[in-house]
Copies of this chain bind each other. A is one copy, B any other.
Amino acid sequence: MQEFSITIQPRFYETDALGHINNASIAAWFEVLRTSFLDSMGQTNPADAMGWILASVQIDFKAEIFYGSDVTAVITEAVVGNSSLTMTCRMSQRDVTTVTGRAVLVRMDSDTKKPMRIPDGLRAEIEAL
């Protein structure tokens, strides 16, 4: 697929006493990547963004990330199910893969609060990638 990518500039407060970026900040960055991807699909705030819930997230830490140089975060795959969207990601710094991850989102009907089928337009757009 054509990869969707953003650049993240590590922030000093995102480091911890071990001298690297803390794992919780990386979970937060993954959200930034997911929302940016959904934004690029027109799933903008508020109503559409609100229509997605996070069902699960998996993060594998391959190498430390440090303050002081940019991180590239990429959606490497986006797979549409009936009501779910599974995204895998990779983050790298100075050409070293530091993180891989996978998140499963579910499209919710804001009225019934139940999972709903992902609309065909969005489905086609993601599958076209």
Beta-carbon contact of A58 and B56 below 8 Å? yes
State how many angstroms separate the Cβ of A19 from the closest Cβ of chain B.
Answer: 5
In the complex, A23 Cα to B20 Cα: how many Å? 17
The answer to the question of A127 belonging to the interface, with a C-beta cut-off of 8 Å to chain B, is no
A27 CB–B CB distance under 8 Å: yes
**How many protomers of this protein does the assembly include?**
4
Main SS of chain A's interface residues? mixed
Closest to A16 in B: B15
| Candidate in A15, A16, A19, A55 with the most chain B CB atoms within 10 angstroms | A16
Report the minimal beta-carbon distance from A22 to chain B, rounded to whole angstroms: 4
Partner of A58, one of B25, B28, B57: B57
List residues of chain B with CB within 8 A of the CB of A24. 13, 24-25, 27-28, 31
